Amino acid sequence: MNPNHHPATPLSPGRKSKVLVLGAGNFGSCLADHLGDSSHDVYMWSREEDLIDYFNQHHKNLRYLTDHDFSLSVQAIGPELPSAEFIKTVDVILFAIPTEGVRSTLTQLRPRLDEKNLPLLIFVNKGIETSTHALTLEIIVDTCGKDIARCATFISGPSFAKEIVRRQPTSVSVASLSEAHADKASQLFHQPWFRCYTGGDPIGIELAGALKNVYAIASGIGEGLGFENNTRASLITRGLAEMTRIGVAYGASPLTFLSLAGVGDLFLTCSSPSSRNYTVGFRLGKGEALDEIIKTLGSVAEGVTTAKGLKAIIDKLGVYAPIATGVYEVLYEGKNVEEGARALMELPPQKEVDLPEGTGGPLKELMRKLGEA
């Protein structure tokens, strides 16, 4: 057996579930493996035929976590989206695809869902849709309706895939507008090596998970420019302040940004070369061009596209967010990274804690869509 693979005894056997994981990238693969080792039957969908064939033959992923021996309970399927007949037999659908692909996938999937026997829908993507500036919950409302959106569940937190497959202790936030569905997702994933903490603020969880990638780019830029620990600590702390301001203006709870999905994920992503977004920033700080970085990165860095959607949200809400704005200017307006860093340091003094009041417009609008306003 591969020494990198550490199967463990589940916390409690419970009922075996049939799980469909949409996406065979780093995170989809590692969660499929985790659920397979937790005594569930897992089907991991991919659009890539060579990946599917290789996985089923060798129980290894051709492109991601390539040294890892995956659970024998995981089978790769595709490249076509599973049929309605297959979907009807599934207990859980886990969405581990980039945010930009969620709308089209849900649009295809919706006619195949049985309204009388819906599977538990769990989303682990982190981002903002570029064209609409929508969070995933709003995409679900648009494509599947309010009843399905109310039951959707979101998982986020400090969780590098390469550590999850080694069964290193990991903790995450699980949130839904439905407490019962958050509890179901928590029970599905919770093991001695993977702890789940539930909450009722999916919008806050989504914003935190998306925004931290933008601040990880800023942190990487600082490192690439040669700045050290003081700078990183400042960027993480002020990044958290910006995230919280944006979240409160949107309608999220400020406490959510103190959670695993908030400060926990922000700290991890801003302080590790294993983070793709941090790596993008680091290489920008070293003087590389964005196009070349994206071409050679090898996987998706969602902070790059998220920065564009976030800038639109910041402008709409009128929130003061100089770090996020600076990242946008570097990525999309050709601003020099050294000039951007200098501009941030030359800003006038300000209050350290300053939350907006009387806001929450986007959340109120979404709640109306959900029939809860």
pLDDT tens sequence across 247-273: 999 999 999 999 999 999 999 999 999
Give the range of the structural domain holding residue 118, as residue numbers without chain letter: 18-200
The answer to whether residues 164 and 230 belong to one domain is no
Q: Which of 22, 202, 208, 201 is nearest to 127 (CA)?
A: 208
- The CATH number given to whatever domain includes residue 295 is 1.10.1040.10
Confidence of residue 282 (pLDDT cuts 50, 70, 90): very high
The answer to whether residues 210 and 126 belong to one domain is no
The answer to whether residues 105 and 169 belong to one domain is yes
The answer to whether residues 251 and 221 belong to one domain is yes
The answer to whether residues 195 and 256 belong to one domain is no
Confidence of residue 14 (pLDDT cuts 50, 70, 90): low
Query: Rounded CA gap, 174 and 181, in Å?
Result: 10
Per the omega criterion (within 30 degrees of 0), is the bond before 79 cis? Answer: yes
The answer to whether residues 213 and 194 belong to one domain is no
Give CA 40 to chain center in angstroms: 23
Residue 274, both tokens: 């294993």
75 and 56 Cβ atoms separated by less than 8 Å? yes
Instruction: Tally Cβ neighbours within 10 Å of residue 178.
Output: 15
The answer to whether residues 97 and 238 belong to one domain is no
Whose tokens are 């020494």? That residue is 3
pTM: 0.91
Taking 60 as the threshold, does the pLDDT of residue 373 lie above it? no
User: Which of the residues are catalytic?
Assistant: 212
Taking 70 as the threshold, does the pLDDT of residue 2 lie above it? no
Residue 212 lies in a domain: yes
Q: Which residue type occupies 314? A: I
Domain end call among 200, 225, 249: 200
Taking 60 as the threshold, does the pLDDT of residue 13 lie above it? no
Residue 108 lies in a domain: yes
pLDDT tens sequence across 167-223: 999 999 999 999 999 999 999 999 999 999 999 999 999 999 999 999 999 999 999
Q: Which of 122, 124, 126, 123 is nearest to 185 (CA)?
A: 122
Domain end call among 148, 180, 200: 200
DSSP, residue by residue, 305-361: HHHHHHHHHHHHHT---HHHHHHHHHHHS---HHHHHHHHHTSPP--SS----S--H
Residue 73: the pLDDT is 96
Structural domains of the chain, count: 2
Residue 224 lies in a domain: yes
Instruction: Tally Cβ neighbours within 10 Å of residue 254.
Output: 16
Residue 367 CB burial class (10 angstroms; 0-12, 13-18, ≥19): middle
Residue 372 lies in a domain: no
Domain end call among 133, 167, 200: 200
314 and 297 Cβ atoms separated by less than 8 Å? no
Taking 50 as the threshold, does the pLDDT of residue 318 lie above it? yes
Residue 213, both tokens: 């990638």
Query: Rounded CA gap, 270 and 282, in Å?
Result: 11
In DSSP terms, 196 is beta-bridged to 172
Q: Which of 73-82, 124-133, 191-200, 259-268 has the lowest mean pLDDT?
A: 124-133
Residue 358: the pLDDT is 64
